[in-house]
């Protein structure tokens, strides 16, 4: 009786460069998730401490990676490769470079501070943190993965917990917002997946490995021009590219605070990062071909976000529209096809992530006390809660691009790079920045100054322990505002070789 042999099921090919730090981050998330699932529902305090512990560990790992990365060598480091599905050429391939490292650090910071921001949550605590861990697992995975299959897997893993996180713990029109957001973002994946498989089939290399697929000459110019818009739109929906941004303010306003933080702070960066890592890496000629359209959409997004933000009465909607505007700056940077543009875009991703996280964290504190996000019902808050107001105002100033805070550098570098290539669009977008400064100032003035409504006269200011997450975020904002080279040095290790390798 002949027998069929199924070979290779147990023999895996593994390639490691030292301790697998990147997998350690992912494993920490999974372990945290499992521990939370195993804890009984009633032990809310333990669940929070466990969450803080595991998220703190990932932050430490991210910090270690950020400083252990060898800037003089550049390129991909901390490589981990496991042949996952040999017959289809799928690899479990993790590595970091100068583009992913800032985002990894950003995710670590926002993850940890997000857990602390939700410290006072009392409703369905266990499920919340379990889903939150799942969401962040996807984000971490996407930033470290170098294999298209896994990028797609992590992309979706980071999206679907959003539905429940918003629909269960959210506020304004939460069910509508959750459904809209999920369908919009997964509609993006309906473009990404065919695009990925298309490139896989056309390359003939039988691999999903980005480093192999990005070699010049793998794809013809026509194939790149065809595939680029699929990725650009697919990931761009998540990055809030106009006119596919409408899910974003609605989703931001409805989500619970820490989810808004992760969402605006990190999730939108996944979109921009996906455009960079997949669309631009694999289809550089498509990138050059479509860059004019990208710049147009980005500039339009900047203007549109600023003008729409001017009309909002809900604090979270204001931040939501400012995110659309700020992510437009990232898009503008990416569209310049230059080293400075890429540097500025990645820097802006990081800075905007920290800034919005701080904004949402501050709004979260205010909302928990006053139970309103309507600007008209607030006012004079700086008198009763000066510290909480300070955090919001600091973040708002960062959003306006005040020198000394991190966002300034990102915006400056992007606009300098963009002005060389698209002078008209850049000037118009710069005018929009003035508008955005105006609306931020208007919000600050109406919320924190002026007459204080009587019902808010007895509010407590933020306590030291509750202020920790905001302190961390504000500190990071200042640190990278004063020493931008810390980040630019890392980003340049990736952007300069990448641009030099481009066919001209």
The residues that touch another protein, with contacts defined as CB under 8 A, are 1-4, 6-9, 84-88, 127, 149, 152-153, 156-157, 160, 163-164, 167-168, 175, 179, 182-183, 186-187, 189-191, 193-194, 197-198, 200-201
What is the gyration radius of the CA atoms in the chain, in angstroms?
Answer: 22
Which residues lie below 8 Å from residue 374, measured CB to CB, with a gap of 6+?
A: 313, 314, 315
Q: How far is the CB of 230 from another protein (least distance, A)?
A: 9
Q: Which is nearer to another protein, 226 or 296 (CB)?
A: 226
Q: Whose Cβ is closer to another protein: residue 47's or residue 433's?
A: 47
Q: How many helices (DSSP H) and strands (DSSP E) are in the chain?
A: 21, 3
Query: Of 57, 51, 56, 52, which Cα lies nearest the Cα of 33?
Result: 51
State which residue, 119 or 176, has the beta carbon closest to another protein: 176
DSSP tag of 215: S
Q: Which residues contact 178 (CB under 8 A, 6 or more apart)?
A: 162, 163, 164, 166, 167, 170, 251, 254
CA-angle at 198, arms to 297 and 501, nearest 5°: 65
Shortest gap between Cβ of 346 and another protein (angstroms)?
26
Phi and psi of 42, rounded to 5°? -75, -25
Smallest gap, in angstroms, from Cβ of residue 160 to another protein? 5
Residue number with CB closer to another protein (169 or 392): 169
By the 10 Å C-beta count (0-12 exposed, 13-18 middle, 19+ buried), 246 is classed as middle
Tell me how far, at minimum, the Cβ of 7 lies from another protein, in Å. 8
| Region of residue 75 (phi > 0: left; psi between -120 and 50: alpha; otherwise: beta) | left
Least distance to another protein, CB of residue 71, Å: 34
Task: Provide the strand spans (E) within 13-155.
Answer: 14-16, 77-85, 90-96
Nearest to 159 by CA among 176, 192, 177, 184: 184
User: Which residue, 1 or 503, has its beta carbon nearer to another protein?
Assistant: 1
Q: How far is CA 149 from CA 207, 373, 501, in A?
A: 10, 41, 24
- 130 versus 396: smaller Cβ distance to another protein: 130
Q: At its nearest, how many Å lie between another protein and the CB of residue 273?
A: 18
Nearer to another protein, 205 or 430 (CB): 205
Work out how close the CB of 186 gets to another protein at its nearest, in angstroms, rounded to a whole number. Answer: 5
Contact indicator for 490, 71 with CB cutoff of 8 Å:
yes
- The answer to whether 493 and 76 are in contact (CB under 8 A) is no
What minimum distance in Å lies between the beta carbon of 362 and another protein? 28
241 versus 462: smaller Cβ distance to another protein: 241
Cβ neighbours of residue 504 under 8 Å, at least 6 residues apart? none
Q: Which is nearer to another protein, 73 or 201 (CB)?
A: 201
Strand pairing report for 77-85 and 90-96: antiparallel
Of 187 and 452, the one with the shorter C-beta distance to another protein is 187
Please report how close the Cβ of residue 29 comes to another protein at its closest, in angstroms: 13
Nearer to another protein, 197 or 435 (CB): 197
Give the long-range contacts of residues 170-175, CB within 8 A, separation 24 or more: 170/254, 170/255, 170/256, 170/259, 171/253, 171/254, 171/256, 171/367, 171/373, 172/253, 172/254, 172/314, 172/316, 172/373, 173/250, 173/253, 173/254, 174/254
Q: CA 287 to CA 276: how far, in whole Å?
A: 10
CB of 154 to another protein, least distance (A): 8
Closer to another protein by CB, 178 or 264: give it.
Answer: 178
Cβ of residue 369: shortest distance to another protein, in angstroms? 26
In which element (H, E) is residue 153 found?
A: helix 148-169
Nearest distance from C-beta of residue 225 to another protein, angstroms: 15
């Amino acid at each position: 009786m002949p027998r069929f042999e199924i070979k290779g099921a147990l023999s895996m090919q593994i390639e490691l460069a030292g301790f697998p730090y990147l997998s350690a981050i992912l494993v920490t998330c999974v372990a945290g998730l499992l521990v939370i699932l195993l804890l009984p529902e009633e032990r809310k305090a333990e669940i929070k401490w466990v969450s803080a512990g595991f998220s703190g560990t990932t932050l430490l790992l991210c910090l270690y990676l950020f400083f252990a990365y060898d800037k003089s060598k550049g390129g991909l480091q901390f490589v981990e490769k496991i042949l996952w599905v040999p017959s289809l050429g799928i690899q479990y391939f993790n590595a970091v470079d100068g583009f992913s490292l800032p985002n990894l650090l950003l995710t670590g910071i926002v993850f940890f501070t997000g857990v602390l921001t939700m410290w006072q949550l009392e409703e369905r605590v266990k499920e919340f943190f379990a889903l939150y861990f799942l969401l962040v697992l996807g984000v971490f995975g996407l930033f470290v993965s170098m294999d298209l299959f896994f990028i797609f897997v992590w992309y979706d893993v980071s999206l679907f917990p959003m539905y429940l996180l918003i629909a269960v713990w959210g506020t304004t029109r939460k069910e509508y917002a959750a459904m809209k957001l999920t369908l919009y973002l997964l509609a993006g994946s309906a473009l990404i997946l065919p695009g990925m498989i298309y490139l896989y089939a056309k390359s003939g290399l039988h691999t999903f490995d980005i480093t192999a697929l990005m070699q010049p000459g793998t794809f013809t110019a026509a194939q790149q021009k065809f595939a680029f818009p699929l990725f650009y739109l697919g990931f761009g929906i998540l990055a809030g590219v106009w006119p596919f941004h409408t899910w974003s303010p609605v989703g931001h306003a409805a989500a619970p605070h820490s989810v808004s933080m992760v969402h605006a702070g990190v999730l939108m960066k996944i979109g921009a990062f996906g455009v960079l890592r997949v669309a631009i890496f694999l289809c550089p000629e498509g990138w050059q071909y479509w860059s004019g359209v990208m710049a147009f959409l980005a500039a339009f997004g900047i203007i549109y976000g600023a003008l729409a933000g001017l009309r909002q009465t809900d604090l979270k909607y204001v931040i939501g529209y400012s995110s659309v505007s700020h992510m437009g700056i990232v898009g503008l940077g990416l569209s310049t096809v230059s080293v400075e543009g890429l540097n500025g875009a990645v820097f802006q991703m990081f800075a905007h992530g920290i800034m919005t996280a701080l904004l949402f964290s501050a709004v979260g504190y205010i909302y928990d006390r006053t139970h309103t996000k309507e600007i008209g019902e607030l006012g004079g808050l700086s008198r009763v809660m000066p510290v909480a107001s300070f955090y919001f105002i600091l973040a708002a100033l960062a959003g306006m691009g005040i020198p000394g805070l991190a966002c300034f550098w990102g915006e400056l570098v992007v606009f300098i790079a963009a002005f060389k290539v698209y002078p008209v669009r850049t000037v118009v977008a710069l005018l929009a920045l003035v508008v955005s400064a105006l609306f931020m100032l208007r919000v600050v003035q109406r919320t924190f100054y002026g007459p204080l409504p009587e019902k808010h006269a007895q509010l407590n200011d933020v306590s030291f322990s509750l202020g920790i997450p905001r302190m961390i975020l504000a500190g990071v904002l200042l640190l990278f505002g004063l020493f931008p080279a810390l980040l630019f040095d890392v980003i340049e290790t990736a952007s300069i070789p990448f641009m030099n390798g481009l066919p001209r």
